[in-house]
Amino acid sequence: MSVRHDVYANEGGAHGNYGTGNYNIDMATGWLLTVKDVLPEPSAAILTLWCKKQIEAEKTKRVPEIDLAEDQAERDRTIAEQVRNLESWSIGQDEITVSFDPYAVGAYAEGAYECRFPTSGVKELAFKGALLP
């Protein structure tokens, strides 16, 4: 079972902040799944590259004058961490979404980012028998 939850908090300051989290649960055991239950490392690396391309394309749309080289190492590290953190995955029948809260890979004004993958494509990269729809 995959359960997505969204949060918002405004504790003063210039603006409130929001974010997304997920619980991906093995219903047979009741345990939270980790990426190591789903993907071998080479597959996680492939998804990381796909995600990086999606985020860079979206950043270019949102901020046309952006210099993608700026903060690239930090952004790449964050993307790699999020792809390997199932708490950022919302797993659906047809699509898997990896969510990035504001500030994770860009300025707050850019908003949140997401990477989207067809579930069938991720299943091809996953361990045989991984708990995916």
pTM, 2 dp: 0.86
Query: Which CATH number belongs to the domain containing residue 107 in this structure?
Result: 3.90.640
Domain residues for the domain of 50 are 34-125
Domain contains 26: no
Domain contains 55: yes
Confidence grade of residue 126 (pLDDT, cut at 50, 70, 90): very high
- Predicted confidence (pLDDT) per residue in 48-92, tens digit: 999 999 999 998 999 888 888 888 899 999 999 999 999 999 999
Q: Which pairs with CB-CB distance under 8 Å and at least 24 residues apart come from 56-59? A: 58/113, 59/105, 59/106, 59/110, 59/113
